[in-house]
Every structure is written in C-alpha cells, then in structure tokens.
Chain A
Amino acid sequence: MIPAAVSIQNWGWRHASRLAWALEDVTLEISPGERVLILGPSGAGKSTLLQALAGVLGGDDEGDSQGTLTVDGQDPAHQRGRSGLLLQDPDSQMILARVGDDVAFGCENLGVPREEIWVRVREALDAVGLDVPLDRSTQALSGGQKQRLALAGVIAMRPGLLLLDEPTANLDPSGVAEVRDAVGRVLDQTGATFVVIEHRVDTWLPLVDRVVVLGAGGAVIADGHPGVVLAERGAELAREGVWVPGHPPRVSLPSALPAGADLLDAQNLATSRVRGIPVGSPVSTTVRAGEVLAITGENGAGKSTLALTLAGLLRPEGGRLRATAELARGLGDSPIAWKSKQLLERIGTVFQDPEHQFLATTVRRELEVGPRALGLDPAEVDARVDDVLDRLGLTRLERAHPFTLSGGEKRRLSVATALVSRPRILVLDEPTFGQDAGTWARLVELIGALRAEGSAIITVSHDAEFVAALADRTLTLTAGSAEVAA
C-alpha cells in the first residue's frame, strides 16, 4: 500500500438547491503519509471536503464544483478504494449482518479475489483489535466496537488515504479511547495518509503531525505543526467552538441557590422500554426545583430509559414514581397518567436525537407547537417564541426547515421546543453529544440560568466536564446498581 497524495486547488462545492457555496476557494496540499487534523467552526464544510476526498460527494446532479480536487492526481470518484472514509454514526455504517461479511464488503466491491478477501478480513480485524468470531452479529456489538468494525471494513480495502469524519462523537469515553487507539495502530502499520475532522482536539493530538484550520467557507486560516498552531491560534479557535486543550469553554454561571420544593419522588423505580424486560436496577431519588440532577453511567445501564420514565413518557416497570402537589397542580400524582398537553407545562423532554422530536416545517412553527397546544392566545404565543428564539440564538433561522439546520442548531432548537412551554422540570438526554465548544458553553449557561430561575433539570450525560460544571447531584447507574453522590 502506497500512501496517497492530496491536492486541492481553489476547490469549491455548492449543494444542488442551495444558493450559497458550502465551500469556496479551498487550497491545500497534503503529502503522502502526513497525518492531518482539520479544525473549524460548525458549518465550515469540513464533512463536505472529506466526502469529496472519498469520492462520494456525487455527480453533477448533487451539486456544482469549482477548481480541482485530486487524490494521486486523479478525481477520487474514479478511483474507488484509494481513499477510505469512516463516518460518525456507528449504526448507519453496519452494512451486513455478520462481522466477517461486513469487513469483506468493501473488498468484494473492489473485486478482490475470494481467498485474499478472507486474509484481509482477518488482518483488518486484528489491526483494530476486534477479537470476535467472524459470524458474530454486528448488532450485538457496543458503540466503540461498531466503529472499530467499520474501521476494519475501511482498512481491509487498503486505502492510501484514511479519512475520519468525527468518528467518536457518538461514543462514551471508553469507546472514544478504543477507536483512537485502533486508528493509531492502523496508521503505524500502514503508513497511510490520514485526515481527521473532530472538534475535540485532545482526542487526536497524539496521532497527528499537522493541524489545518478552516474558516467559515473553507478558507485555510492556519496550517502547521499542532503545537505551533494551537499556541498561536488556540484562543481564537476556542472562541470559534473548537475544543482546544488549555482553553476550556468559558462559562459564567449564576450562583446556585439552595434547592427548592420536591417535585418528583422515585422509590425503587424500575424502568423498561418493552414491558416485562426491566433495564438496569431499581432507583430511588428525588427531583427538586432549582437543582440539576445528572444521571451518568456506562452504556446499557438504562440512563435514557430512567430519564424518559421520570419525564412521564414511559410507564414505570415497578416501584413508584410520584409527582408532588407542587408539580401536579391539581392532577393525579402519576405523570404517565397525565395527558400529553398537561405534561407540557410540567415536564419538558429533550431527546438524544433532535430529529425525533421535530414536527413542523419551519423553526418558528416548530416553536409554536407547544404554546398552541396549551391554547395560549396568538400574541402570547408570538411573545414566547420570540423570547426563546432570541435566547437560543435562533432568530436568524426562524424560517429555516428544522431538518436543514446544523447539528448544534438542531440541538438548540430541540431545547427551545421544550423551554417555550415553560416546564417546571426539563429532562435532557445527552444534550452535549457531538456538540462544539460554542454550543456546549451556551447549553451550560442556559441550564445554569434555568436552575437559578427555579427549574429542576434532569440530564443524562457521560460528558464529565458537563456534569462537573452543572450537577448538584449525580446519580451513577451501573448495570447492577445505582448510587447517588452529593
């Protein structure tokens, strides 16, 4: 395998149906064997650039291009397999049902002879350290294992250029380390040219020898040795939303007040997604006004299921969940028995995947759904919507379709849809997953402000910084038990 050379000259791309160029006038040379970390604010077109290098951006019907972009002097779309791309979402990269078959898939497409395919499959699984039988179901793997499997599928094609698009954004801390170490091993073995996009710089810093910073629109604004670029541009990058070591996002929080009234009380609460199949073990805790309760723990411990049960969305499997009179305000004490509309002003939920909760065709209409369901008069609806639009920095986007927003914007909109109904309790499921430092800081400040206003916050998170910044109490779930730490 010979490492590939990348040459990008005044290159640009505009998606069909868009007026603005996603990327414009990008110029960048990457020598064979270089390991490059590309940084830049959300919406700088980094993913588009990577897809172009992988040759999967599509033809003329997908959009217009300008300038030239080549891998080894040729159009990457015409040399499949020369570049290998690993994407963010583990679930949409599992193509076949069995581990061995999934790794073999790329080799088959490249026309590799059968005997050689299986040699490559074993080598690739070895390189990523995935020691499972070839006929293991791909569904049975953890998030980190799935990403390592996808990586194995990519390197089995023996690409000269390895491209990673935020491959660890959806993983818990142990999964992140698993994938990073596997990539390190692969690079040491193959010597392939390496390009990674990620806004958590510290994850990849040990592996890269060059950092390129793209500005909005794709112009290269810094380029060089990681130490030098980060020393010179660290503060500026941090302001643009990049996670730079030594430049933690700055947040100013109002001082936390003593906790207020009890709102929810859980006693030996057992939870389940499917009735009769409990997840994790029973939990006892209290949710109080003006307090942030963080639910942490490993994958599969039942964090999300507990949060959705506390939110009145899933029926408790066992034990008791009781709403106090303060929260119920005239309704019965069991949140699952409340009507959907009655839930709105009492408990709001922000789902892990924002797309699951979008209902309308514009940002503004999306925010009107809750207040309208509450039967507020039009003037009040407008006032509330304007208020949250402003508060979450979405005013500029009020006429955009929710699905067309960037990851950070979608997250802010999903939080806004819950806030606009002014619930006493706000439940958030992994709100900082895959978010840049800018959105992260904004979320932390917003939640701090809500707490100071007397809201109760329940958040599922395995983001240690987020929990450290906000949690008044932490409920740590393990597959076996739950512990509360003050």
Chain B
Amino acid sequence: MSALAGTAPAVTARSTAVIHRTNAVTRLIVPVPLTIVLLLTLDWVSAATALAALAVLLPFAGLTPRQFWLRTLPVWIAAPLTGITMLLYGRPDGTVYWEFGLAQISDGSITIAIATVLRVLAIALPAVVLFVTVDPTDLADGLAQILKLPARFVLGALAGIRMIGLFLDDWRALELARRARGVADRGKIRRFAGMALAMLVLSIRRGTKLATAMEARGFGGTTTRTWARESRLGRTDLALFAIGIVVSVIVVWTSVATGHWNFLFG
C-alpha cells in the first residue's frame, strides 16, 4: 500500500557529530544575527567574510560532502540566477559594456551582481547547513518546550508532516486510477485540477482519521501535557550562539574596516 512512504524523511539519523549535541531550536536561531547583518549591507567583503567563516566551520556541521552538495544544490542554482538579474538590471555606474533595451551591464552592475551572489550564498548556506541535521520531532519538542509554542499546534503540524509519504502514494494511485477510468486522455491541466481536488478530499479524510487516532490517545484534552523527551539548552548551545555572534561581529568589523560597508537603509 505505502510503496513510496519510505521516500519521505521519517527519521533523521543522528551521527556523533558535535552539532547533534545542540538543540534543534538553537540551530534554527543561530543564523539570525548574521542574516540581519548581511541584509543591512550590500558589499562583497561582508558576504565573503561570512562564507570564509562558514568554510572554516563546515567540518563541524555533521554533514558528509555528498549530503552538503545535495542539500545545498538549490542555493547554488538560485544564487547565480539572482546574480544575473542584478548584472542586467542593477543600477548602472562607470563604464557600460553591453546594452539591450533596459538591460545594461556596467562596472556598477557587475559589482552589485558579485555582491548579491555572495550575499545569497552567505545567508542561505549557513541556514541550510544547520537545518538539514534537524530532526522534525526534536524541533517540535524544542518549539513547544523552549519557545513555549502551543503543543496542539506544534504536534498537529508534526503529525501532518509525517503524512507526506502517504500523500505521495495517494497521488500516484490517483494518476493510475484516472488512466483506468478512461479519463486520462483529456487536457493535462484539467486532470491536474481534478486530481488536486480529489487529493484534497483524501487528505481531509486522512487528516480526520489521524485526528481521531490522536484524540483516542488523549490528545487535545484538558490535562497539562508532559514531554517524554526533554528539550533543553546546554553549554554546546551557548557555544553555538557565541559562534554565531562572533562571526557576525567579525563580518561587520571586516567590512567597516576595509571601507566597503554600505548601509542599505541608511
């Protein structure tokens, strides 16, 4: 029945890497200061400094090279695309090398393009690298116990995520069933819409069943819930926070010291 369920991320394997001693919530929050810093300025020095720091810290992220490239692949594709946009449409300055309609490649747009590519990488890579080792269950525990988000909401979302594998199975079954029912020759878009609707109905039914099963296990009652897995912050979390702050400070200092810092909202 669930031929594809195995393809959904069910359990994240815990390696012995030091990163797994930090809380999932820490890994979610640590990149925030750096992100703010990089959003405040658009210069290649700050982004390059952040990337250099990432390169130094990467061996401690608990990822194999293969995992790293695979999981960050979308970032490596997206960054050059934003760069090209800036290259063509960034504010022209200095020598203009090429022109076509509104598109202009100039000294200015080249500088902005490089800075943008580096900035996208410097913002996205740390967040992705830290987040891919997060286990959904651990994150839910952290969100509820440390950030005190409502348990109902957090656990509902967690249980929902687990159903993604079943949804993939449903979708494939719907495709086959439409071919079997003789309606798969019609327009693809119309069929897609029909399947999306059927999928919605099936999802709601699965959701209802899941809700009944959860309720039958006492979920949503008035009793204050306990947590089988304690989620807490320790010294490694403190260390990781410190690293995040130190990197941000170094980034600002380098950029300002080299005279490249430019306040975007100045």
Residue ranges of A at the interface with B (Cβ–Cβ < 8 Å): 51, 54, 56, 80-81, 84-85, 87, 89, 91-98, 100-101, 104-114, 117-118, 121, 135, 137-140, 150, 153-154, 157, 170, 273-274, 279, 304-305, 308, 311, 313-314, 339-341, 343-344, 348-349, 351-353, 355-359, 369-370, 373-374, 403, 417-418, 421
Q: With contacts A81-B218, A340-B178 known, what are 7 further pairs, Cβ within 8 A?
A: A84-B216, A87-B213, A92-B206, A109-B219, A111-B224, A139-B8, A154-B217
Nearest chain A CB to B48 CB, angstrom units: 39
Establish whether residues B180 and A357, one from each chain, have CB atoms under 8 Å apart when the complex forms.
Answer: yes
* A114-B216 in contact given A340-B178, A344-B182, A348-B180 (Cβ < 8 Å): no
Establish whether residues B6 and A140, one from each chain, have CB atoms under 8 Å apart when the complex forms.
Answer: yes
Q: Which residues of A contact B214 (CB under 8 A)?
A: 95, 105
> Which B1-18 residues have C-beta < 8 A from chain A?
1-6, 8, 10-11
| Whole-angstrom CA separation of A421 from B202 in the bound complex | 26
Establish whether residues B228 and A118, one from each chain, have CB atoms under 8 Å apart when the complex forms.
Answer: yes
Q: Which residues of B contact A369 (CB under 8 A)?
A: 181-183
Q: Which residues of B contact A304 (CB under 8 A)?
A: 1
| Whole-angstrom CA separation of A87 from B208 in the bound complex | 13
| Interchain Cβ contacts under 8 Å between A and B, 5 examples | A91-B166, A97-B10, A98-B11, A114-B228, A403-B201
B182-210 interface mask toward A, CB cutoff 8 Å, 1 = contact, 0 = none?
A: 11110000000010001001100110011
Residue ranges of B at the interface with A (Cβ–Cβ < 8 Å): 1-6, 8, 10-11, 135-137, 158-159, 162, 165-166, 170, 172-174, 176-185, 194, 198, 201-202, 205-206, 209-210, 212-221, 223-230
| Whole-angstrom CA separation of A96 from B210 in the bound complex | 11
Nearest chain A CB to B197 CB, angstrom units: 10
Establish whether residues A373 and B226, one from each chain, have CB atoms under 8 Å apart when the complex forms.
Answer: no
Q: Which residues of B contact A51 (CB under 8 A)?
A: 212
Nearest chain A CB to B256 CB, angstrom units: 46
User: Which of A56, A111, A273 touches B223 (beta carbons < 8 Å)?
Assistant: A111
User: Which of A54, A111, A417 touches B226 (beta carbons < 8 Å)?
Assistant: A111
Nearest chain A CB to B57 CB, angstrom units: 28
Establish whether residues B216 and A87, one from each chain, have CB atoms under 8 Å apart when the complex forms.
Answer: yes
| Whole-angstrom CA separation of A106 from B221 in the bound complex | 11
| Whole-angstrom CA separation of A340 from B187 in the bound complex | 12
User: Which of B2, B185, B224 touches A341 (beta carbons < 8 Å)?
Assistant: B185
Nearest chain A CB to B244 CB, angstrom units: 28
Please indicate which of the listed interface residues B209, B217, B223 has the most CB atoms of chain A within 10 Å of its own CB. B217
Establish whether residues A96 and B162, one from each chain, have CB atoms under 8 Å apart when the complex forms.
Answer: yes
* A273-B3 in contact given A80-B218, A339-B185 (Cβ < 8 Å): yes
The 3 closest A-B pairs by CB, nearest first: A340-B184, A109-B218, A106-B217
Please indicate which of the listed interface residues B10, B162, B180, B212 has the most CB atoms of chain A within 10 Å of its own CB. B180
Nearest chain A CB to B151 CB, angstrom units: 9
* A96-B226 in contact given A340-B184, A344-B182 (Cβ < 8 Å): no
Establish whether residues B137 and A104, one from each chain, have CB atoms under 8 Å apart when the complex forms.
Answer: no
Establish whether residues A54 and B216, one from each chain, have CB atoms under 8 Å apart when the complex forms.
Answer: yes
